[in-house]
Every structure is written in structure tokens, then in C-alpha cells.
Amino acid sequence: MASALVVPPARPAAPGSATAPGYRPGRTLRLRVEARRQLRRRRTMVVFGLLVALPFVLMAAFAVGGTPSGNDAGGPTLIDTATSSGANFAATALFVSAGFVLVVPVALFCGDTVASEAGWSSLRYLLAAPVPRVRLLAVKLAVALGFSAVALVVLPLVALVAGGVAYGWGPLELPAGGAVPAGTAVARLAVTVAYIYASQLVTAALAFWLSTVTDAPLGAVGGAVGLTIVGNVLDAVTALHSWRKVLPAHWQYAWLDAIQPTTEWSGMAQGTAVSVAYAVVLAALAFRGFRTKDIVS
């Protein structure tokens, strides 16, 4: 019986060591090749299909349930203004999906990228090609982050267009009173999407790190989503007091400051700093661990 192919940990080449003629590490596993591979996968099509369909599901819910009414317990909310304009509908779509729905595609794209290769037993052949380990991770992470960004843009964009057709292209009506002009509202929504993307970097890095330590894609994706939920639960524990400020979940709705009469940046700045700090550490763990890992699948 033939022995299994095992790719040992990467080691630096000795000075003056020979390489194959024409071999350039920077030209292996091109970004466009990896992007094309990921785009053709069924899970990519399903994720984007669901994100496109979600605004229409919300519109159907409003059509069946009628115009949203005020919340007597806590005053008006963003959902109460959902049908005021296309901008309001897009903001509402972000509000109802940012806490969990948008977490799933980010975890899926980043958590499935390396673990799926191991699950298909193709990872060892990629490394034996040879594709340098650092480049393989860098390309896969870049493509995963790119698809995650597109996913976060698709939902509000479809909601803005569909909501504009259904509810008009008026200004963004604020729950507390007042309005933001339509042109300014689109810019505010762009800031909102950018912040949500920045806040999701910690989930992306967590999923990517798990993807490098397990051969089960569902384990990496589920682990990232599960730990994100744990963070939300911990943030709800008021007994933690100021300790909650070190949790990325504590800042996940700081983007609401962008759709106020005057944009407040401090919360989004703190949330971005926390998320990026966690993301850098987790990404570093992924690259460090993968460089010394024996690949047997």
C-alpha cells in the first residue's frame, strides 16, 4: 500500500539552494484563480442568493403585517420608520441582520477556505506544487475577505434599490425626529457598511484561524459563529461593567451613530480598534501555526 503524502513544516531555503527554472513563489496560486474557484462553489451562490432574497422577505413581512407602529415600551425605533423611504428600509435591513445574519457569510467564507482543502485532501497537493505556505494563506484570506465585503454590500444595496422602488426615494427619517437628506443618507449608509465590515474582521480572523487548525469546515465556521454568540451573551451581562468594552460585541451597533442628525465617531473608532486588535492577533496565530504544521490531508 502506498504511503500517504505528508507535507512537513516549511523551512527556509539554504543560501544558494537551487530552484526549478522559472519558479517564482509570487506567481503561484494567483488571486484571480482562487477567486474564480470560490465563486463557482455552490455555497457561494447560495449565500449571495439568500442575501439578495432577504430584503424581499422583509418587504413581504411589512406587506402582510402592515406599516410598523411605534414601540410603546421604549419609544420609536429604526424598524418603525422602515417603510418611510428606501434609505430607511436599507438601514432597517442592516439593523435586523448585523447581529447574526451578516456574521454567517463572513464566518463561512473565512472558515471554509483552508479547512475545505484539507477536507478534500487537496491541501497537501497544493503545498507540494509547491505553493509557499504564507502565500497560500495570504491569498485565501484576501479572497475570503473580499467575498465577505461583497456579501456585506449586497444586502443593503439590494434593500436600498428595492426599498426605493417600493417606498420612494425620500430622506432618511430618524426615529427620534428629523431627517437626513437622501444624498447624505446614502453616504451615511456607506459609512455604516464600512464599520460593520470592520467590526466583522474579528469573526473573519477567528474563523480563518480555526480553519487552519481543523480539517472540518463546519467546525471552523460553527466555532466562529458560536464564539461570536458567546461574546454577545457576555456583553449582555451588565455585572461585567467596563470589562464589556473589550468585547467586540459591545460595539457592534455603534454604527447607529452614523444615522443621527450629527455623526458621532467615537464609538465607531473604539469598536474598530477593538475588532482590528483581535483580528491581527488571530491572523498572526493562523500564519504562525500553519507554517509549522504537518499537513497529512
pLDDT tens, residue by residue, 216-240? 888 999 999 999 999 989 998 988 8
Taking the C-alpha atoms of residue 32 and residue 26, their distance in angstroms, rounded to an integer, is 13
Q: What is the pLDDT of residue 74?
A: 56
With a CB cutoff of 8 Å and minimum separation 6, the contacts of 6 are 124, 294, 295, 296
Taking the C-alpha atoms of residue 51 and residue 57, their distance in angstroms, rounded to an integer, is 10
- Report the length, in residues, of the chain: 297
**172 bridge partner residues:** 180
Percent of the chain with pLDDT strictly greater than 90: 48
Percent of the chain with pLDDT strictly greater than 70: 81
pLDDT tens, residue by residue, 7-34? 556 555 444 444 555 556 556 667 788 8
pLDDT tens, residue by residue, 159-185? 999 999 999 998 998 887 788 898 899
Query: With 80 as the cut, is the pLDDT of residue 69 above it?
Result: no
Query: With 50 as the cut, is the pLDDT of residue 36 above it?
Result: yes
Q: What is the DSSP string of 23-36?
A: --GGGSS-HHHHHH
